[in-house]
Amino acid sequence: MIKRDKMKEPALIDRHEFVVRFSECDAMNVVWHGSYVLYLEDGRESFGKHYEGIGYDDYFKARIVAPIVNMNINYKQSLRSGEKGIVETRYIESQGAKIVLQYIIYRASDMEVMATAETTQVFTTLDTGEMQYVCPDFYVAWKKRWLGTKK
């Protein structure tokens, strides 16, 4: 599990606000642990819209998908039904053909940390599921645009 003070300095950050729905909570009226995975997904979607060129449509146009191969979530406190939260998604540069994102989920009212997380995604072809060991062209172009890197 990652600790907030151990998180790498990100190159790109996006923040997405959400409202906890009743259906995301358990019998104690706190967010069920599995619902946090959905908040991470919301963060990835928002990140892809904010930093154009890396959204789900861009993957499909390139005939690529990027399944998650590793996910770690560290739960700190609980959100409750009706509360607003913020998922902060941080892009962590990697030399490999993968995408590493770190997340901090805050309670919006006081910016208390509710959870931290990290995901790793790898590139595979849409048609065969074959893993890609080099970065796809669209991802190289995206990194060049937003990070100024050529790899």
Asked if the structure places residue 60 within a domain, the reply is yes
Asked if the structure places residue 50 within a domain, the reply is yes
Asked if the structure places residue 96 within a domain, the reply is yes
Please answer whether residues 19 and 79 qualify as being in contact, where contact means their C-beta atoms are separated by less than 8 angstroms. no
Which domain range does residue 65 map to? 9-146
Distance between CA atoms of residues 6 and 9, nearest Å: 9
Instruction: Return the minimum-mean-pLDDT range out of 1-5, 37-41, 45-49, 59-63.
Output: 1-5
Q: Which phi and psi angles does 98 have, rounded to 5°?
A: -155, 165
Q: In sequence order, which residues have a C-beta less than 8 Å from that of residue 30 and are 6 or more positions away?
A: 78, 79, 80
Q: How many domains does the chain have?
A: 1
Asked if the structure places residue 105 within a domain, the reply is yes
Over range 116-131, report the average pLDDT.
95
Q: Note the Cα 109 to chain centre separation in Å.
A: 22
How confident is the model over 69-100, as pLDDT tens digits? Answer: 999 999 999 999 999 999 999 999 998 999 99
Asked if the structure places residue 88 within a domain, the reply is yes
- Does residue 7 have a pLDDT over 70? no
Asked if the structure places residue 2 within a domain, the reply is no
Over range 45-62, report the average pLDDT.
94
Over range 65-69, report the average pLDDT.
95
pLDDT at 9: 58
Instruction: Check residues 5 and 150 and name the one with the higher pLDDT.
Output: 150
Asked if the structure places residue 15 within a domain, the reply is yes
Give me the chain's average pLDDT, please: 92
Asked if the structure places residue 4 within a domain, the reply is no
pLDDT at 4: 46
Over range 41-59, report the average pLDDT.
94
For the chain, report the end-to-end CA distance as a whole number of angstroms.
Answer: 28
Q: What is the DSSP letter of 11?
A: S
What are the structure tokens assigned to 39, written together? Answer: 């908040």
* Model pTM score: 0.89
- Does residue 8 have a pLDDT over 90? no
Q: What is the CATH number of the domain that holds 77?
A: 3.10.129.10
Distance between CA atoms of residues 31 and 20, nearest Å: 8
